[in-house]
Amino acid sequence: MNMQDKEFDDLFRSKLDAFEMEPTAQVWVNIDAEMDGKKRKNGVFFTLRIAASVIVLLTAGILFIPKKDTVTHHPKNQSAHAHINPPVVKPGNNTPVTVKDEQVAAIAFPVNSTSRVHHTKKPENVPVQKKQVAPEITNAEPVKVNEPPVLIASSEKPAETIKSVVPGIETPLAAKQVNTNETNAINIAPVLASTQTPVTTTAKQAVVKKRGIHNMGNLVNLVMAKVDKRKDKVIEFTDTDDESTITAVNVGPIKIKKEDK
């Protein structure tokens, strides 16, 4: 006896309609838990996202730290700027010819405290004769020294920085004239020659030490300078503060730069 499709379907429907089966107790437990969890779920998800971003940052940090060695090689990169620095510093060295050690110390101070204007002012006050000249120069210094670290690796930049330094050279010239009034003109030349090289090295070391150890932001800046040759680095930090804050981010399409310097 063949069954019609309709009959066949009806047979299944009528028989299965009455089919019941007791679910296991676990089903309600799960429902109960999920109904409670729905509210908490967002919170958990949020904390997970934070945890994930922390892990990403830590991994990035671990990846970059081995490149710390590059910091020691860094002075080579900086040499271009280091050469620019001395003329700015020169006039300060010119007058007290005899007291070389003091000069170096005096020079080291302003370079060290590239960003800290308070410190630079103190050593200026010590040489009484130089009071008038020194403030001008030291004021000029921090600005110039501040710029290079950010631009260190950018190969296109040096041209600009050199230009910016040119007026710096002119100012010392004016300072020299003042100096000649006080001391021998002969002194200037030897001092220029002698101080130039030591000063540059001390300046370099001071700068490197300062930045290398000072804070994490500086370290990242230096590493980025080595790794990323673009004008806008993947990430940039302020190198002025003890606490480093991000000033620029450049991840392909996303480019953020704080222009508050």
> Site residues (CB under 8 A) for another protein?
1-3, 5, 7-9, 11-13, 15-24, 26-28, 30-32, 34-35
Minimum gap (Å) between residue 6 Cβ and another protein: 9
C-alpha span between 124 and 111 (Å, rounded): 13
- Range list of H helices, 18-116: 25-64, 70-94, 100-112
Smallest distance from another protein to CB 58, Å: 35
- Element of type H or E holding 190: helix 185-214
* Distances 147 to 33, 184, 218, 255 between C-alpha atoms, Å: 59, 34, 13, 20
Q: Is 7 or 170 the residue whose CB approaches another protein more closely?
A: 7
- Give the list of residues 6+ apart from residue 140 with CB closer than 8 angstroms, or none: 88, 168, 171
Least Å distance, CB 72 to another protein, is 57
Please state the closest distance from residue 234 (CB atom) to another protein, in A. Answer: 40
Whole-number Å distance between alpha carbons of 93 and 141:
14
Shortest CB 8 distance to another protein, Å: 6
Question: 25 vs 63, which CB is nearer to another protein?
Answer: 25
Residues 187-190: contacts with CB under 8 Å, at least 24 apart: 187/94, 187/97, 188/94
Minimum separation from the CB atom of position 28 to another protein (A) = 6
Q: Of 17 and 259, which has the nearer Cβ to another protein?
A: 17
State the minimum distance, in angstroms, from the CB of residue 12 to another protein. Answer: 6
Considering the complex, state which of residue 14 and residue 98 has its C-beta at the smaller distance from another protein: 14
Maximum C-alpha span of the chain? 132
As a whole number of angstroms, the distance between CA 80 and CA 160 comes to 12
Nearer to another protein, 27 or 185 (CB): 27
User: Tokens 């299944």 map to which residue?
Assistant: 12
Tokens 């130039």 correspond to: 196
Q: What is the DSSP string of 3-31?
A: PPHHHHHHHHHHHHHT---PPPHHHHHHH
Give the residue with the Cβ less far from another protein, 19 or 251.
19
Say how far apart CA 249 and CA 261 lie, in whole Å: 15
Nearer to another protein, 15 or 118 (CB): 15
